[in-house]
Amino acid sequence: MPLGALVDAPVLEALARRSIQLLAAVRPGEEALAATLGERARGLGLSLGLWPMLGDAEGRWLGPENAPAYGAFVEGVLAAAGALDTMVLDLEPPIAEVRALVDGRLGAARAWLAREPSREVHDALVGALAARGVESFAAVVPLTLYEGRAGRGWQRALGTPVDGVAYAKVSPMLYTTLFEGYGFGVVRRDDARDLLRRYAALAVLRLGSRASISLGAVGPGALGDERTYRAPEELVEDVAIALGAGARDLTLFDLAGVLARPPIERWLDALCGLDAAAPPPVTARAIAIDAAARATGVALAVAGRLATSS
């Protein structure tokens, strides 16, 4: 949501009362607003993180094509914002590529074969944040968490290095609503719940205490057509599944959606749930999706190696 709208928003008090950290998107030209928001947050005792996003023409999220510009923007945000608890590094391909793939233009995936993650930039950003006492929080595509060649293949194809970079937190975006919405009419709510359980357990296994789980979506995101929760009860279910998988750090996307669907207390209290659930039923579709994604990651790793050697 617009950063300026947050500065005086009453919802900040509701977040502070529940000890929910705010992760606020900040775009070029909003550095001064970020500083003002930081002052308000400190006055409320509200933990604050900032989520830098470039313009869509520059790819929006952190990737190899825009890494220098993104790194410079992060430095500018840090310089302007003052005291800060967390900085979100959103590791995704350029938004134009994501839009093309979602629209069915699969030719956009050709970029996957020629891409190399700019790990040096990520290491430098994480190191600079650590030196300032700021937590680095990497939001990632869940497929990048696979072990071995499958994970390496996806990390390379998407240009989003995860392994070997010392992010303080790594949060796969496990939006059950998007599993359904982009599931071509095949993925149902029970399949999405099983996928959430699978990837949350994988994140905890691979990352331990660094694992965070991003849940959602309450409102439409960058693409504008994302499916959202039907009701807060679905978020209650997702929180319980993530806790049951061993996760202890949860993120909800997004605050604009919460404010647009009052009463906000139902969403915020759902996020603060403490009851872990037994694993949801295993579904044949979730098994097939998981297996296909792993196999594709291995194929991407092989194709990337062949492309490099040639």
Backbone Cα Rg of the chain: 19
pTM: 0.94
Over 70: is that where the pLDDT of 302 sits?
A: yes
DSSP conformation class of 147? S
Q: What is the pLDDT of residue 103?
A: 83
How is 175-217 classified by DSSP, letter by letter? -HHHHHHTTTTT--HHHHHHHHHHHHHHHHHHHGGGB-EEEE-
- The one-letter amino acid code at 6 reads L
Q: What CATH number does the domain containing 16 carry?
A: 3.20.20.80
**CA angle at residue 51 from 50 to 52, to 5 degrees?**
110
Directed axis angle between helix 67-81 and helix 31-44, to 10°? 50
- Reported as a single tens digit per residue, the pLDDT across 5-15 is 999 899 999 99
Which band of pLDDT confidence, cut at 50, 70 and 90, is reported for residue 179?
A: very high
Which band of pLDDT confidence, cut at 50, 70 and 90, is reported for residue 237?
A: very high
Which band of pLDDT confidence, cut at 50, 70 and 90, is reported for residue 306?
A: low
Q: What is the pLDDT of residue 307?
A: 60
DSSP conformation class of 279? P
Which residues make Cβ contacts (< 8 Å) with residue 161, sequence separation at least 6?
91, 117, 118, 119, 122, 155
- Per the structure, the complete domain to which residue 12 belongs is given by 3-309
Phi, psi of 177 (to 5 degrees): -65, -35
Q: Pick from 81-85, 210-214, 223-227 the range whose average pLDDT is largest.
A: 210-214
Evaluate whether 210 touches 167 at the Cβ level (below 8 Å).
Answer: yes
3-state secondary structure of 137: strand
Q: What is the dihedral of CA 134, 135, 136, 142, to 10 degrees?
A: -160
Average pLDDT over residues 45-70: 94
Which band of pLDDT confidence, cut at 50, 70 and 90, is reported for residue 296?
A: very high
Q: What is the dihedral of CA 36, 39, 42, 48, to 10 degrees?
A: 30
Kindly report the average pLDDT of the chain as a whole number.
93
Token pair of 208 as six digits: 């331990």
Positive/negative CA dihedral, 155, 161, 167, 173: negative
How far is residue 23's CA from residue 233's CA, in Å, rounded to a whole number?
Answer: 23
Between 4 and 228, where is the model more confident? 228
Residues facing residue 137 across a β-bridge: 88, 169
CB atoms within 10 A of CB 184: 7
CB atoms within 10 A of CB 107: 8
**Total structural domains within the chain:** 1
How far is residue 268's CA from residue 252's CA, in Å, rounded to a whole number?
Answer: 9
